[in-house]
Each structure stands twice: as C-alpha cells, then as structure tokens.
C-alpha cells in the first residue's frame, strides 16, 4: 500500500524557523510603534458570522463573492474565516460598548487571515497581517497619522523609495452621482471590459476601477475621476490631508483611480509600496483608508473610523533582500553534560533549579558521549561545563569544569547551583 505524502493545503504555507526571526522583528516593531502612538492590542476570533463580511465588506466585492472560506455549522449557522481585520474590530467596538470609552479609540492587531484566491507571488490563502485602526475621530489628521505609522514602520524595516498613493472616493453625498457618471462612461465601452467587469457595471461600477485585467485598465485610464466630483465637505477633508502631508514632508502621489477592494471605505484611501523591481512584483505592502459608515452598517451608532493593514508575507519577501540586524539571544554560559540514566534524571533536576533562578543552561540530554557533549559546549562558547557521570550521580556530586583553563572542581550536588551563581558573578 502506497504511503500518503501529506503537504500543506494549496495556498497555505508553513512558517519555518528561518523565517520566524523576520516575523519576530516585524511584531516587535509593531509593538514599539503601537506603544509610542498609544495603540492598544486587540485580537478577534478567526471565525466570524458570515453576514459581518457580506454586509460590512460588501456583497459585490471579490472578497465576498469569490474569496471567503464559509461553512455551515451543525447548528445551522454560517461562519467565515476572517478575510480582513477591520469589520471584526468594529463589531467588537459595538458589541463591547467601546464607544463609552475615551475617544478616539486606537487599536492594533497581528494575526492570520484567509482568502480563497488563486495563489501567486506574495499572495496566499492563509496570510498574516498587522493593522492599526482609529475609531471615533473624523478629522483628517487621523488619516495622516495612520499612514504615518505604516510609513515609519516600513522605513524602520529598511525600506527605501516608498510611494504613498492617495485618493478620495467621496462619501454617501457625492459618490452616488459619481457612480452614475462612471456607469455611463463604462456602458459606452462595455464590449472592451472583461466578463467580471460587465457584471460589476450593473452592481457597482466603482469596482471596475480596481480590476487588474490589462484590457480593463486601458479603459479605466481615461475614465472620469472622483476627485473632480467631490462634495464640498470631502474636498475640504482631502485638501487638509494633503496639507498635512506637505507639512510633514511625507512623499505622496495622487492616484485618482485607487478605490481599494472593500465597500466600507469613504473619503481618503491609500496604499504604500516600494518603488523597485521586486517591489512592483510584490505589489502594495500596506493599504487602507477611512470607513465612516461601517459602524452604522453593522448596527451601531454612526462612528467615524480610519485604519489600514500590511501583508506580512509581502514585507518578508522584500526584507530578505535587505541588510537587517537581528537581536540574538546570548548563548548560555553553562553547559550540562551527563553520562548514564541516573545522571540524566539528576540533570533534569539541575535544569529546573537553574530555570527557577533565571540562569539559562544548554544541554544534550539525548547524547551519551561525553566528548561530543563537551565539543558542543566549546562550539557555543560555554564558560563552564557541569559534568554528571554515573560515579558523581551515585555519590551526589557534580564536576565543574572551567572551559577556558580546563580546571575541574568537585562540589556537592545540592550546592552546584549556588556555586555557579557565585562564579558567574565573578
């Protein structure tokens, strides 16, 4: 009978030990930024009610129509593996009465997300994101601070030539009129659109602006622009955003057809990418925008919000080509060597004693060759080796060997830990 050879599911991947240092670096920097800008950590369930996304993200979006992992529970409920982070956070904000806390509320997250899309370079079906969200403030300064957090974080990760693409997609006052203008434009060119965009034309013509098909992009390049049709409030808001950018000397480029792939966005939307050959292959590292209607759509009071998220796998691909310093844990100064079953049992007692007083030790409990164990002690640069053989184990003693001078001293087993504390202090 042929043995099954199991592999990770299509589009999902293992995070191997050699990549963990990159994840740790990103997480530590996220935490550092969050502490400085006063964002608090939040973690939402991996599974959510399906309607949270169909209503919040939008029924006509690719995420809801094509990319969600949804299933029916034994109790008849429909649950979905979270495809994005903002709708769950706003759900938590409403559910836990966070509107009664001092506003604005600043939250950040870091975790796995899921989309059943075609796997490709930098895109996975299970992927990791971190995000920053500010809820309860409508001023344009929040838009800029959110973008600044992501921009600064990427700079700290040694990214250069970062490009911030900016656009405003208006609000419920001015966007319906723009949709009519856009629909009229695309209707006259429907034969030049892909099949998906033919459907989008009837459901939500704004989605056509987000299409990646080359034939559709050619049509989009001549389409009307939302910036020319903003209401007075949206125009003023976006103008102030740009003024903040100028004051901070943050580089940006107007991207009049940037809409993002989620229906809850209003006013400012943005993406950050690296202007390099590899960066163009990977695509946007960060994306987000303002979502002033989302809380109301999900059944809460009207509450403004702004946030964004970064794809960790995309960042990791580009990080590997940069010269980064990783903090390394110092090797333990004590190596524990043993010979025989009784010595192994006594060694476990010593290891726990050292753990309790926060002194790291290294060991090779699975090995019986003393020579091999002492060679390992030399390789890791241990200052001392504690040697427990059968004779020492029976007599209740331990040999302390100075790895630099070769000197060996015999001490009682119960005094070994205290003796090592004294020697390490010297």
Are 41 and 67 members of one domain?
Answer: yes
Task: Name the β-bridge partners of 168.
Answer: 268
Residue 1's pLDDT is: 52
Kindly state whether residue 415 falls inside one of the protein's structural domains: yes
Which tens digit of pLDDT belongs to each residue from 13-43? 999 998 999 999 999 999 999 999 999 999 9
Are 25 and 159 members of one domain?
Answer: yes
Are 315 and 344 members of one domain?
Answer: no
Are 311 and 356 members of one domain?
Answer: no
Are 266 and 388 members of one domain?
Answer: no
Q: Which residue has the higher pLDDT, 71 or 324?
A: 71
Are 273 and 339 members of one domain?
Answer: no
Nearest to 141 by CA among 238, 33, 257: 238
Domain boundary among 319, 346, 381: 319
Q: How many domains does the chain have?
A: 2
Which tens digit of pLDDT belongs to each residue from 119-166? 888 789 999 999 999 999 999 999 999 999 999 999 999 998 999 999
Q: How far apart are CA 137 and CA 151, in angstroms?
A: 21
Average the pLDDT over 191-206 and give the result: 87
Contacts of 324 (CB under 8 A, 6+ apart): 25, 157, 158
Domain boundary among 293, 319, 345: 319
Kindly state whether residue 354 falls inside one of the protein's structural domains: yes
Kindly state whether residue 135 falls inside one of the protein's structural domains: yes
Residue 414's pLDDT is: 92
The domain spanning residue 374 has which CATH number? 3.40.50.800
Which tens digit of pLDDT belongs to each residue from 214-227? 899 999 999 999 99
- pLDDT above 70 (res 310): yes
Kindly state whether residue 202 falls inside one of the protein's structural domains: no
Are 238 and 358 members of one domain?
Answer: no
Structure tokens at 60: 């006509």
Kindly state whether residue 83 falls inside one of the protein's structural domains: yes
Which strand ranges, in their side-by-side order, compose the sheet holding 397-402?
Answer: 361-363, 334-338, 384-388, 397-402, 408-412
Q: What are the helix (H) ranges across 77-174?
A: 86-95, 140-156
Are 370 and 304 members of one domain?
Answer: no
Residue 123's pLDDT is: 84
Instruction: State the DSSP code for 15.
Output: -
User: Structural domain of residue 416, as residue ranges?
Assistant: 334-425
Q: What is the pTM of this model?
A: 0.86
Domain boundary among 319, 345, 361: 319
Residue 5's pLDDT is: 83
- Quick check: 307 and 325 in contact, CB under 8 A? no
Are 311 and 341 members of one domain?
Answer: no
Are 275 and 391 members of one domain?
Answer: no
Are 275 and 304 members of one domain?
Answer: yes
- pLDDT above 80 (res 2): no
- pLDDT category at 328 given cuts 50, 70, 90 is low
Residue 76's pLDDT is: 93
Kindly state whether residue 208 falls inside one of the protein's structural domains: no
Residue 226's pLDDT is: 93
Are 312 and 344 members of one domain?
Answer: no
State the pairing for strand pair 305-311/408-412.
Answer: unpaired
Q: How far apart are CA 233 and CA 240, in angstroms?
A: 11
Q: What is the distance in angstroms between the CA of the first residue and the CA of the last residue of the chain?
A: 63
């Amino acid at each position: 009978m042929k043995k099954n050879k199991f592999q990770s599911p299509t589009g999902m991947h293992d995070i191997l030990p050699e990549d963990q240092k990159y994840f740790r670096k990103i997480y530590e920097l996220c935490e550092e930024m969050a502490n400085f800008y006063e964002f608090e950590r939040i973690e939402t369930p991996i599974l959510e009610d399906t309607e949270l996304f169909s209503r919040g993200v939008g029924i006509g979006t690719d995420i809801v129509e094509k990319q969600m992992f949804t299933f029916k529970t034994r109790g008849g409920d429909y649950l979905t593996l979270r495809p994005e982070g903002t709708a769950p956070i706003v759900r938590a904000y409403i559910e836990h009465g966070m509107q009664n806390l001092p506003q604005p509320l600043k939250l950040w997250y870091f975790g796995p997300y899921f989309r059943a899309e075609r796997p490709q370079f930098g895109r996975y079906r299970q992927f990791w994101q971190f995000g920053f969200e500010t809820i309860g403030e409508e001023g344009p300064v929040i838009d800029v601070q959110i973008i600044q957090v992501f921009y600064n974080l990427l700079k700290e990760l040694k990214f250069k030539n970062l490009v911030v693409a900016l656009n405003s997609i208006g609000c419920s006052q001015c966007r319906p009129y723009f949709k009519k203008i856009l629909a009229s434009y695309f209707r006259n060119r429907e034969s030049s659109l892909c099949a998906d965009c033919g459907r989008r034309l009837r459901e939500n013509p704004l989605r056509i602006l987000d299409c990646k098909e080359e034939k559709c992009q050619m049509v989009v390049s001549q389409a009307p622009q939302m910036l020319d049709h903003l209401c007075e409030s949206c125009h003023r808001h976006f103008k102030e955003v740009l003024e903040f950018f100028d004051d901070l000397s943050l580089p940006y480029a107007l991207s009049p057809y940037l809409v993002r792939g989620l229906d809850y966005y209003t006013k400012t939307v943005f993406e950050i990418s690296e202007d390099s050959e590899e960066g163009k292959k990977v695509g946007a590292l960060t994306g987000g925008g303002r979502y002033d209607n989302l809380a109301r759509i999900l059944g809460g009071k009207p509450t403004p919000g702004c946030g964004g998220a970064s794809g960790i796998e995309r960042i990791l691909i580009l990080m590997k080509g940069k010269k980064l310093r990783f903090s390394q844990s110092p090797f333990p100064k004590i190596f524990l060597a043993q010979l025989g079953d009784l010595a192994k049992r006594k060694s476990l007692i010593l290891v726990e004693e050292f753990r309790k007083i926060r002194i790291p030790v290294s060991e090779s409990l699975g090995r019986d060759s003393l020579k091999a164990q002492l060679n390992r002690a030399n390789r890791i640069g241990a200052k001392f080796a504690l040697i427990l053989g059968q004779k020492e184990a029976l007599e209740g003693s331990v040999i302390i060997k100075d790895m630099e001078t070769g000197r060996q001293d015999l001490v009682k087993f119960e005094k070994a830990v205290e003796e090592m504390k004294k020697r390490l202090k010297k």
